[in-house]
Structure 1
Amino acid sequence: MERKTGLPACVQGRFDEGQSFAALVARKGADWHDTVMDTIQEHPVLRQVDRTELRESILRVAPPKALDLAGLISVGSLLHGPLKSLRTPDVERDACLRDVLNAVGNDARFFTNHGHAEDGEEADFLASSFHVNALAGTTIDICLIGVSDENVLVLWRFEDD
């Protein structure tokens, strides 16, 4: 399985492996949902994701907002709210996460199960309260999926009470 092979080197240690998953893989076929499912199928938490729910429960993310969501997945707590530090620019963190998002490819589109995506360009993914369409069967999980003609990025955070 191609996991974590395409992520920039700066990602090393940036995502807590006990509560998150990060992978950038080559897109396989016209339906990118299949690539996502193939990428997460061996993960002990994410293998619970239902293909139909994934297809029906994710919303488009405005590209400028994908950086906030990537930050939340990398260091925020889903149960206790985003770390206050996420609202403060961090040159190294933000540059790395931009590199991750740019690695998806040209004209990338982003998707999530985070409820604030309904707000489009006004979405606040760092709000202390939010709703989510849980997909992984955990207490709460948030994904950011980036899709281009060439690649699929899967960032996922999951937490139990």
Structure 2
Amino acid sequence: MTYTIHLTLNGTPREISLDDPRVTLLDLLRERVGLTGAKKGCDRGQCGACTVLVDGRRINSCLALAVSLDGADVTTIEGLAEGDSLHPVQEAFIAHDGLQCGFCTPGQIMSAVGLIAEGQTDGDPERVRECMSGNLCRCGAYAGITEAVLDVQQQMSETEQGRKRA
């Protein structure tokens, strides 16, 4: 039996046929759609390397069945940059050395984008670390990751304050 799902992947509507209802979103993205930014680390939802945004919320794509996401809006690391312009979080990760080997970086960045959108850290480094604790980095780039998130939050806060004054 074939299942057809409709997803918006990085802003593009897609109709995808699945021959197996057990296909995870991660496997769909990597093996069937060719979006390989999300990584298969532990395949158990413990490392965060597969983090993507579904309807604006952070999820471990290795734990989500693709068939259960019919109609969802999925954003992957490939959908963040606009042309040659990197997303502010991507730029901040580079500026603050928030990466080393790079394996966890797509998941870290997607988690950071989701975290910033959630607005639950109020510029507190400890809160950033806590909210990003589902994303593991074997290289230990946590200080740079935290600095990158705080930097983007600060930039967004300053931009918002500037808009209010105008």
TM-score (norm 1): 0.31
Higher helix share: 2
TM-score (norm 2): 0.30
Structure with the bigger RCO (C-alpha within 8 Å, sep 6+) is 1
Higher strand share: 1
Q: Which structure has the larger Rg? A: 2
